Chains A and B, each alone.
Chain A
Amino acid sequence: MKRSVGDKIIDAIIVFFMVLVIIAMLYPMWNTLAVSFNDARDSIKGGIYLWPRKWSLYNYQSVFKTEKVFNAFLISVARTVISTILNVFFSGLLAYVLSHKDFVLRRFTTVFMIMTMYINAGLIPQYFLYRNLGINNTFWVYILPGMVGAFNVIVIRTYINSLPASLSESAKIDGATEMKIYFNIIFPLCLPVLATVALWVAVGAWNDWFTSYIFAPKQSLSTLQYEMMKIISSSMQQGAAQTPDYLQQSQSQQSSMVTPNSLRAAMTIVATVPILIVYPFLQKYFVTVNIGSVKE
């Protein structure tokens, strides 16, 4: 089709608008990146927008040298990896079980599971449950409550139902157990949808600070996001009475080298980059799944 001059003008306007959107989406992170690589004393003067004026890796060094932050980083990684593996495995297994149309407990289990998406006892009963289970202030509070997700199970089950049933049936005739079929046939075939669910779970686990705040406030169990939360809410409060002690320390000991603002910028990058790196690897899968769920 020939494009008229009017069409080309509209194209140009659209492209211009999209460039504005890109700038608006990228600028806040880009600016933080520039500040994090800029010398802290120099940043105080202001005017750092797109590029560091005086390069320095000192902000990152002091982030990782602070034992609390490094420990929080390890806890964040551990809980994210473990939750993701467990949730994907257990949600997938239940999805496979529920994909058997003639399974006697199918209806009951499905309703019992879907109900959990609507009912929610609320924060305080939840707090009591965890206390009675003895998982408050332990690493388990990050893992146990999120081992299966009802929504994830439904998404995976829909995908399994779209696979040809003959695959698992022939394996069953050959005498394979259900677990074997799940591991050797269903699991590999479901990789696209499992990758999608893995991304959902990983993003949720990595970005969660509320669990630490309410259920595991112990310093040794703190996560990166929770440390970020402490820093940001203390910088929001003018008095800065609750400045985490390592910031005060760094202020007094090396006052000339690091400022809370620069440290915060470096920590923002450290708390963001790992989850952003995961995303491109999984991207090709989940666009197809999203389209699939629309047509469903």
Chain B
Amino acid sequence: MTTNIATSRATIPAKPKQSFFSQAKKQKELVLITIPYIIYFFIFNYLPLWGLTMAFQNYKPYRTFWEQEWVGFKHFQKLFSDPAFYRVLRNTLAMSFINLVLGFVTAIAFALLINEIPKQLYGFKRVVQTISYMPHFLSWIIVCGLVSNILSMDDGIINNLLLATGLVKEKIHFLGKPEYFWWIVGFTNVWKSMGWNSIIYLAAITSIDPCLYEAAAIDGYGRFGRMWHITLPGIKSTIIVLLIMNAGWILNAGFEIQYILGSNGLVLDVSETIDIYVLKKGFAGTAGSGFAFGTAAGMFKTVCSAAILITCNKISSWLGEERLV
């Protein structure tokens, strides 16, 4: 019996190390499917990287690549000495920060409150959730149109309400005052994504052990005590991971809302973000004279952004949670 096992073990060879090609031959169909994808990603995602060479050239569209004049870091020097660049950087960071903080606080608070809707009102809970997701599906264009309606000087509901309640003496031109702009963007973001962002917290809340709530109730904690001592700690890891991951997008404050709401030209000092700067500089001038500078500015943003993003993902995986990938 024992010898039998011994021999049978001996006869089963350790899985032979197959060469790459013999294995690839066996998986011919899979390889054939994959190759077009690799070509596709190469063309649409890697090939444009070649265009980054423009950032180091005095680029002229009518010249071939070999005839271009190389200028080293001239465009970057120009970028770093442009006061407008620091202004758009400030705007980007400020709006990102406001969006991040406001977005997190409201989404978490909303999830906690939804979770507290009594069980008898299940239908009401579903309705609230469904309606709160709705704005997520609207485009920024539509949202900007709605915002400008709401805040409008003639017959906008906010101004009408403020007048009717006597809080203000005369109508406020919200979209024309630089001091309001960041907050309008911040609260529009909240309106658009609060419900949607709360989904992930609600999911985390459902995985909290119900026994904990019962134990806390016996220990004499009230509703808010339970929220504070059970629910919040229960979703703490989700909050931290999402916070770190979203912080990775700090240089992407958005583009569309600032571009459209800023198109009245009254608040450009506070509304323009890096993306708008790249767009305006890149397509400025005649016959592509801005292409090289725009590429340099875009490259600065991409490199910083990727570095921040990778760092943030590293931190969150180091904390033992699932990364984005």
A18 with B113: CB separation less than 8 A? yes
Closest Cβ–Cβ distance, residue A88 to chain B (whole Å): 15
A10-B134 contact given A122-B298, A271-B139, CB 8 Å threshold: no
A174 close to chain B: CB less than 8 A: no
Within 8 A of B (CB), among A160-180: 177-179
The residue of chain B having its C-beta at the shortest distance from the C-beta of A146 within the complex is B44
B206 close to chain A: CB less than 8 A: yes
Within 8 A of A (CB), among B162-217: 175, 191, 195, 199-200, 203-204, 206-207, 217
A119 with B33: CB separation less than 8 A? no
B141 close to chain A: CB less than 8 A: yes
The residue of chain A having its C-beta at the shortest distance from the C-beta of B116 within the complex is A14
B309 close to chain A: CB less than 8 A: yes
Within 8 A of A (CB), among B273-299: 278-279, 282, 291, 294-295, 298-299
B49 close to chain A: CB less than 8 A: yes
A209 close to chain B: CB less than 8 A: yes
B54 with A25: CB separation less than 8 A? no
Q: Which residues of B contact A5 (CB under 8 A)?
A: none
Interface string of A221-244 (1 = CB under 8 A from B): 000010011001101111000000
A27-B157 contact given A22-B128, A109-B34, CB 8 Å threshold: yes
B142 close to chain A: CB less than 8 A: yes
B138 with A272: CB separation less than 8 A? yes
Within 8 A of B (CB), among A261-296: 264, 268, 271-272, 275-276, 279-280, 283, 287, 290-291, 294-296
A283-B130 contact given A17-B113, A18-B124, A209-B139, CB 8 Å threshold: yes
The residue of chain A having its C-beta at the shortest distance from the C-beta of B261 within the complex is A236
Closest Cβ–Cβ distance, residue A241 to chain B (whole Å): 12
How many angstroms between the C-alpha atoms of A291 and B207 in the bound complex? 10
Q: Which residues of A contact B118 (CB under 8 A)?
A: 3, 11
A198 close to chain B: CB less than 8 A: no
B127 close to chain A: CB less than 8 A: yes
How many angstroms between the C-alpha atoms of A105 and B264 in the bound complex? 52
A134 close to chain B: CB less than 8 A: no
Among listed A52-60, A61-69, A124-132, A248-256, interface-contacting one: A124-132
How many angstroms between the C-alpha atoms of A287 and B150 in the bound complex? 31
The residue of chain B having its C-beta at the shortest distance from the C-beta of A113 within the complex is B41
Interface string of B308-325 (1 = CB under 8 A from A): 011000000000001011
A228 with B223: CB separation less than 8 A? no
How many angstroms between the C-alpha atoms of A117 and B144 in the bound complex? 28
Q: Which residues of A contact B191 (CB under 8 A)?
A: 24-25
A15 with B121: CB separation less than 8 A? yes
B29 with A104: CB separation less than 8 A? no
Extra 4 A-B pairs, beta carbons < 8 Å, given A103-B30, A125-B51: A21-B132, A105-B24, A119-B46, A119-B302
Closest 3 CB pairs of A and B: A125-B51, A122-B298, A207-B139
Give A residues with C-beta under 8 Å from B. Answer: 1, 3, 6-7, 10-11, 14-15, 17-18, 21-22, 24-29, 31-32, 46-47, 49, 90, 93-94, 97, 100, 102-105, 109, 112-126, 128-129, 133, 144-145, 147-148, 154, 177-179, 203, 206-210, 225, 228-229, 232-233, 235-238, 264, 268, 271-272, 275-276, 279-280, 283, 287, 290-291, 294-296
